[in-house]
Amino acid sequence: MNQIEKARAFAALHRKGEPVVLYNIWDVGSAVAVAESGARALATGSWSVAATGGFGDGQKIPLLLLCDIARGIVGATDLPVSIDFEGGYAETPGEIAINVAHIVNAGAVGVNIEDQVVGGEGLHGIEAQAERLAAIRAMADARDLPFFVNARTDVFLKEPDGAKHADLLDEAIQRGYAYEKAGARGFFVPGLSDPALIARICKAVSLPVNVMMKPGSPDVATLAALGVARISHGPFPYRAMIAWLKEQAQGIYKS
């Protein structure tokens, strides 16, 4: 498939009640391993990509290096590839569109774009974030590419107390509406694990809803029944791999 065909195939995988499961990768080796395990699409996790290069999360890995990693992953398999692009490495709509164009040129068919202020405090205002997303959509549309912009809201991730997440639901839904109007194709709500709240998000927002698996999250079957269309694993595959590697190494050196 060419890039346009991959983009269409990737979008078609997002079905409410029948979610695509993305076991997030970080380099060519992990991409090939996950692809050979039966994945239908690939997606990076920003934390993992940064960590494997010795960088911290939060756009610490250089943009050009990230683009090179994306290009390598795209070239390693025939699957559609989405890149976790954090805040887009820019503040203004014009700059973020230019930066995402580099990811497009690398062959990816989608990106995650988050609404927290990377390196700052809080979240971008709804209108400001919508303008950033709209600039990406305009760039992709100018190339006739059905690029999948997965709009991530950090409303829930910024509040570690899950008991307070119900109070944040209205703001999250409002952001979902605005991001869809701006041209997003998916709505990512990491940090949210309460089944009742996930169901309400899925019902209120027409975009395919993406949740992230974490300890204590509902299982895949439950999430599917709630209406989720995409399930990510974030940094957890990388962390599990590193924990296994340490355990194996400790067994050798302590023997």
Residue 36 binned pLDDT confidence (cut-offs 50, 70, 90) = very high
CA distance 230 to 222: 13
**pLDDT tens-place string over residues 19-28:** 999 999 999 9
pLDDT at 188: 99
**pLDDT tens-place string over residues 122-155:** 999 999 999 999 999 999 999 999 999 999 999 9
CB–CB of 48/235 below 8 Å? yes
pLDDT at 166: 98
Name which of 124, 137, 140, 110 is nearest 41 in CA terms.
110
Average pLDDT over residues 232-236: 98
For residue 18, the tally of other CB atoms under 10 A from its CB is 10
Domains of the chain (ranges; CATH) run 3-253 (3.20.20.60)
Average pLDDT, the chain: 97
pLDDT at 41: 98
CB–CB of 136/90 below 8 Å? no
**pLDDT tens-place string over residues 195-218:** 999 999 999 999 999 999 998 899
Question: Is 0.85 topped by the overall pTM?
Answer: yes
Is residue 255's pLDDT more than 90? Answer: no
CA distance 24 to 91: 26
Is residue 35's pLDDT more than 80? Answer: yes
Residue 1 binned pLDDT confidence (cut-offs 50, 70, 90) = very high
